[in-house]
Each structure stands twice: as C-alpha cells, then as structure tokens.
Structure 1
Amino acid sequence: MKTIYLLLSCTVLLTACQSTNEANQVPNSTNMIDHVYYIEQQSAQRLVGSSQRLAESFDGYCANQTTKETVVMQWQQTMQSWMALQGQERGPEAALSLNWNIQFWPDKKNTTGRKMSQLLKKDQTWNSELIQQQSVTTQGLGAVEWLLFDPASTLPAEESCQLGQAITENLALNTKKMAQVWQINPWTQLDETMWLNEYIALLANQLDYSMKKLSRPLAKIGQPRPYFSESWRSETSLTWLKYNVEAMQQLYIANGSGLNQYLKDQGHSDLAERIEDHFNSTLETWPESSSLFSELQTKSGYQNTLALYNKLEYLKYLIHEEVAIELNIAIGFNATDGD
C-alpha cells in the first residue's frame, strides 16, 4: 500500500502542474455558462492527455523500457482525471454515450473479471479495433485495473501485454472522441431558466452517482458488500470518491462565477455559504484510508463510511431540496435511480 500512496502523491503533483498551466486560460467573463463549460472542456482535455500517457506507458512496460509502477501511476492519473466527468448526465450526448466504454461500474457480478479471463484464453492477436467489438466491461479503466492488480492477470506475459496495449489504445481513442465533442459548448443557446435546470442537474446527477459508490458496498447495516466498491482491487475507492467531491466543489464555485455566486446575487447568501462550508468540512475530515474495501472489514470502518455517506446525503439535501426550491428548479430524472 505504501507504493500506492506514493504514486497517488506523484499523481497529485503532476495534476497540480497541469492545473497551474490551465489557470492562465480562465474565461475573461462572469457568465456562468462560460466558466462551467471551461471546467468541463479542461477536464476532458486532461482525461485524453492522461489516457494517452497510459497507453504509452503500457507499451513501454511491455517493451521492457519502463516499470510496472510507472504504468500504475499513469492508470491512477487517468482515473483521477476521469473523476471530474464520471457520473455526469448533462452535456453533449456523443460524449455521455462513451461513459460506459471508459469505465464499467457498478460491476455487481464481477463481469469484468470473468470477461478478462476469457479474453486472455482466446487464441487472438488483440488490437484496438477488436477491443471495440468486445463488451464494454473489457474496454475501460476497470479492465486495466484488473490487468495491473488482479492475481489472475498474467502480466508481463505476452498475452496480457498485448491485451493491455489494445485496451489502453482503445481507451485513449475514446477519450479523444470525448474531448473533441467538448470543443463545442453545448449550452450557448440556453436561456437562464433552462441553464439553471441544466447546471443544477449536472451537479445533482454527479452527486447521486458518487453516493452510490458508498451505498452499494455499504448495503444493509452489518452486511456490507465490499466487492461492490469501485476500485477494490487497487484499494483506491475512497481516493477516487474524494476527487469526485473536489470536482463537484469546483463546478459549484466555477472560478467565482458559478452557482455559489449566483445564490448570493439572488439573496441566498446563507444557503450558498452553507453549501460551500459543507464541501470544505467534508473534504477536510476525509478518511485517511484510500481503501473502502478495507474499511468495510471492521465495525469502526463501516461506521466511518456511513458517516461519510451521511455527509454527502446532507449535501444532496442542500442541492436537491433547498437550492431547487429557492430557485424554483425541478431536477430531472437520474438514470441511476432505482438501481
């Protein structure tokens, strides 16, 4: 686990450098749409960059030119980049349609593990075109995690290397498609009411998705399902969830021109500050462990996870209920409801 923590720290430093470069390009505007779009566009650009480096590192590893730790670090960086867009249901349809290709989750029946084992047994020379024809369970970040962390993986054997190279190449192609779609702002024609509906739904849907990353493995009290955790193999589930919350906070603030400022301008400063304070306190008191799987093995860990879920539930109440009521917004149907 020390190696994982070290690599995650490196990932944060790399991303911080990228963010610094991008900060110089923040829109010279106070328009909410411009700033939210900028955040989404930059998130898509970071994702394609990190996924391309992942494919390159996998190639280098299989050619004995780099270490497995380097591939793990690039996978982590790609996961971190993906967390900014994961679970969103607003934006260009052509981008949203790629979500399952980039990551298959929830995986309730270990479909990824079974499908990956089957692919390794096939007498096949894999490439990105053939991977595109396979189940989405073997196309994305979960499939790469399986190759890097699951005991059944045969890396660095030739069959696993070839499969991994094909998967990471296809992943880079899909993230490139997503980034290309995000080059055009999908919200420029919306009036203020339509935009507010879209914006709040963007936050609410992503928050709903993030909460399910806890509620599924928490299951019934005293009967957790740790294998329902997002990245149980790499023991990094809570790390990715923290990046989700940080991304939602960034969307809420939107460079000082987002929903937070809009609420203040509309006379709802108290509500705006409560949401901002709750984002901050949730992140400041985040669990030290990166592994939700490990946390759910003990009573105290389960209680800590439940406490974290309750914090997100209160954030959901503030956005779903108080913001929606104050601004007279009806939050639309969430495709993950009822799962």
Structure 2
Amino acid sequence: MQGITRLLCTSILTLTSPLAWASDANIQARQQWYEGIATGYQSLTTEAGELAESARDYCQNPAEGSREHVEAAWLNAFLAWQKVRLVDFGPVENNNLSWQFQFWPDPKNLIARKAAYLIGNDEPITPSVINQSGVAVQGFPMIEYLLFDQEFNAGETSLPVARTCELLTNVAGHLKSNSDALMAGWQAFRPHYLETEQYFDTTIRAGMATLEILEERRLAQPMGLRGSNKRNPYIADAWRSGKSLQTVAATVDGLNRYFLPGLEISLEAKGASDLADRIRKQFNEVQQNFPGAHLPLATALKEEDQFRALQSLYVDISQLTTLVNDQAAVALGVVRGFNSSDGD
C-alpha cells in the first residue's frame, strides 16, 4: 500500500512540476517587469521635473542659451516617456494619463488650434485651465509645438511672449504632476500586479502592441508602405522637432531594457532558450544598425541613401515583431487581444 501511495505521489509531482515551474517563472517575470517599469517611471519623473524647472527659469529670465536648455529638457523627458510607452495597463490608464502625456496621432491639428485659442483669449492660463482643456493641450506635443513649430515661431506670439510662457510653464507643470502621480500609482500597484496572474499575459500583449504600432504606424505609414503609399513625415510623432527617429530608438531601448528581461525568463522556463537568444540578438541588430537617430525623418524620407537605411531598419523591426508577436506569443500561450494602445 505504501508503495502504491509513493508511486501515486511521484506521478502527481511529475505531472504538476512543469506547471509549478511555469508559474514560478511567470512570477519572476512579473517581478522583473515591475522593477524595470518602476525604473522607467522614475526616470520620467526626474526628467519631467527638469523640464518644468527649465521652462520656469526660461520664462523668468529668457537669457541667451536658456531656450536651448528648455528644448534639451523637453527632449530628455519625451524620450523617457517613449521608453515606458509600452505600458498600457495599470495606473497609466487612470484619467487617460497616456493620452495626457502624448496626444497622437493628431490628423485635425488640434494641438495648433488649441494653442491658438488659449493664447488668443484673455482668460489667465492656470493649472486649472490646463486640467480642463483636454489631452491635446496637456502633454509633450503641445510643448513641442510651442518650441519647434516653424509657422508659430515666426509669429508675434512665439516664446518668450508672456502669455505663451504661461502656457509653456503650466503644461510643463502638468506633465510633472502627472509623472509624480504615475510613479506613486505604480508603487501602490505593486502587490496587485505581482499577485495577479493575468498581468503576465497583459504585459506580453503590451509589448506586442508596442511593436505593432512601431512597425505599422510609426514607420510603415510615414514611409509610404501602408495607406496612401506616399512618404509623409507629418503623420509621424515628433515631426515638428525632427525627433521622430529618436523617439523610435527610445521605444526600442525601453522594450530592450524593461520588457525583454522578463520575456527571456518566461521563454527559458518554457524550454525556448533558443528563441529567447534570437530575440535578444534581434534587439541588438536593431540598435546597432539604427540609421542616424538624430536625423530628421523628413530628411530620411527625401534622400534615397538614407531611405534605404530606413528600409533596413523597418525590416529589422519587422523581424523583431515576428519573433515576439508570433513565435514568443505562441510559445507562451498568449493570444493577441484588444489592447488600449490600439487607439494610440
């Protein structure tokens, strides 16, 4: 009887151990993802604080060189956002925070229209006004418009005109407040995220959606590979500042830093170490072969030698998307579903 019992227990352990290992690996992956995203959010908070401070200093004393400091601070904060843009669940869903950070796409040019309205009327531009003005006003693209839009900056209301400075400083302050709220929310979200199994699939899907948006909307459409078949830099994000390719590079870097480590843990636990290695190498391929991230996308679309380099980047990212969204997702049993980023 004891032998039968021992045999039965051994059989049960044999059957359940792989499931237990998978569950442990999923927990480890979520721990890895949580810490990585926390690091990214902390960087966003720090850089948003620098932006708010530099905007305030510039408007109080627009001395030579201070505008360039604001522009650099905007870029650093915006790239920090790009690195955590993959997260489309949890606290960033509260109050449309992701849209408050970045309203895009903007086919109706609402950002320019909202700026003209706010600058053109007599009502003081206060934090309350920014809170009530909608997502087209509240994020990085509005500051980009004020700093970099050529037509606006050739006009009489360009910075450092006092009323435009009111808009600049209050939007920068709004971004800082939202960054702080996001970081605090993520810290409070920790137990729920780590204890809830469904966030394993949710995080995988978030990475998948980010790659799809990167491939299809941030590269293929501006390159004329989708839709109208015409090259059009103006449908990319950050076209006014000429930083579209830098934002793509930052998103790839964020995926590599904050998403890939947890994905590797999960794949290796499933016996797919070879696939994990191929994905790691493909990330390196994308980053090593990136065509001049400081080059404006408009230039890359116009000059044929640069466009060929851009095509190579597109192929690299497409291959990465296939590895993650098809092969890794299948290996991990994750089914692609609706994702809030689809309305990005």
Shorter-chain TM-score: what band? Answer: 0.7 to 0.9
Within 1, Cα distance between the matches of 2:34 and 2:95? 15
Question: Which residue in 1 is equivalent to 2:167?
Answer: 163
Letter of the structure 1 residue corresponding to residue 56 of structure 2: D
Letter of the structure 1 residue corresponding to residue 298 of structure 2: F
Query: Deviations for 1:219-259, whole angstroms, at most 9, x for unmatched residues?
Result: 347511111121111111111110100110112343xxx22
From 264, 278, 286, the equivalent of 2:290 is 286
Question: Which residue in 2 is equivalent to 1:190?
Answer: 196
Within 2, Cα distance between the matches of 1:202 and 1:103? 17
Please tell me whether the aligned partners of residues 95 and 181 of structure 1 are also in contact (alpha carbons under 8 angstroms): no
Residue 316 (1) aligns with residue 321 (2): yes
From 221, 246, 259, the equivalent of 2:263 is 259
Tell me the TM-score normalised to structure 2 length.
0.82
Q: For residues 82 and 188 of structure 1, do their structure 2 counterparts lie closer, same or farther at Cα, with a shift above 3 Å needed?
A: same
Question: Which residue in 2 is equivalent to 1:225?
Answer: 232
**What is the 5 A alignment of 1:203-222?**
203-211=207-215, 212-220=217-225
Question: Which residue in 1 is equivalent to 2:104?
Answer: 105
Quote the offset at 1:335 in angstroms: 3.6
**What is the 5 A alignment of 1:18-37?**
31-37=28-34
Quote the offset at 1:204 in angstroms: 0.8
- After alignment, is 219-228 or 96-105 more displaced? 219-228
Within 2, Cα distance between the matches of 1:328 and 1:335? 20
Letter of the structure 1 residue corresponding to residue 277 of structure 2: E
- After alignment, is 50-59 or 301-310 more displaced? 301-310
Query: Deviations for 1:100-119, whole angstroms, at most 9, x for unmatched residues?
Result: 11111112232212221222
Query: Deviations for 1:181-217, whole angstroms, at most 9, x for unmatched residues?
Result: 11121412223xx343123112112222322211231
Residue 77 (1) aligns with residue 76 (2): yes
- After alignment, is 273-282 or 243-252 more displaced? 243-252
Question: Which residue in 1 is equivalent to 2:131?
Answer: 132
Within 2, Cα distance between the matches of 1:128 and 1:190? 36
Q: Which SS does the other structure have where 1:283 is aligned?
A: helix
Quote the offset at 1:274 in angstroms: 0.7
- After alignment, is 57-66 or 97-106 more displaced? 57-66
**Percentage of pairs with the same residue:** 28
Within 2, Cα distance between the matches of 1:109 and 1:180? 34
Please tell me whether the aligned partners of residues 87 and 203 of structure 2 are also in contact (alpha carbons under 8 angstroms): no
Question: Which residue in 2 is equivalent to 1:243?
Answer: 250
Within 1, Cα distance between the matches of 2:36 and 2:45? 14
Question: Which residue in 2 is equivalent to 1:298?
Answer: 303
Q: For residues 338 and 38 of structure 1, do their structure 2 counterparts lie closer, same or farther at Cα, with a shift above 3 Å needed?
A: closer
The size of the alignment, in residue pairs, is 305
Please tell me whether the aligned partners of residues 125 and 167 of structure 2 are also in contact (alpha carbons under 8 angstroms): yes
Please tell me whether the aligned partners of residues 80 and 243 of structure 1 are also in contact (alpha carbons under 8 angstroms): yes
Query: Deviations for 1:295-339, whole angstroms, at most 9, x for unmatched residues?
Result: 112334333323322221211111111112122221222345488
Letter of the structure 2 residue corresponding to residue 165 of structure 1: T
Within 1, Cα distance between the matches of 2:314 and 2:168? 34
Query: Deviations for 1:82-114, whole angstroms, at most 9, x for unmatched residues?
Result: 012214323336458301111111122322122
Within 2, Cα distance between the matches of 1:234 and 1:270? 40
Question: Which residue in 2 is equivalent to 1:21?
Answer: none
Tell me the TM-score normalised to structure 1 length.
0.83
Question: Which residue in 2 is equivalent to 1:41?
Answer: 38
Quote the offset at 1:283 in angstroms: 0.3
Larger CA Rg, structure 1 vs 2: 2
Quote the offset at 1:47 in angstroms: 1.1
Within 1, Cα distance between the matches of 2:103 and 2:329? 31
Q: Which has the higher relative contact order, 1 or 2, with Cα contacts under 8 A spaced 6 or more apart?
A: 2
Query: Deviations for 1:130-165, whole angstroms, at most 9, x for unmatched residues?
Result: 111113111110000111111314101111111111
Higher helix fraction (1 or 2): 2
Quote the offset at 1:35 in angstroms: 1.7
Q: Can you give the 5+ residue segments of structure 2 that lack an aligned partner in the other structure?
A: 1-26
Q: Which SS does the other structure have where 1:287 is aligned?
A: coil
Please tell me whether the aligned partners of residues 218 and 237 of structure 2 are also in contact (alpha carbons under 8 angstroms): yes
Please tell me whether the aligned partners of residues 47 and 175 of structure 1 are also in contact (alpha carbons under 8 angstroms): yes
Please tell me whether the aligned partners of residues 89 and 205 of structure 1 are also in contact (alpha carbons under 8 angstroms): no
Please tell me whether the aligned partners of residues 285 and 316 of structure 2 are also in contact (alpha carbons under 8 angstroms): no
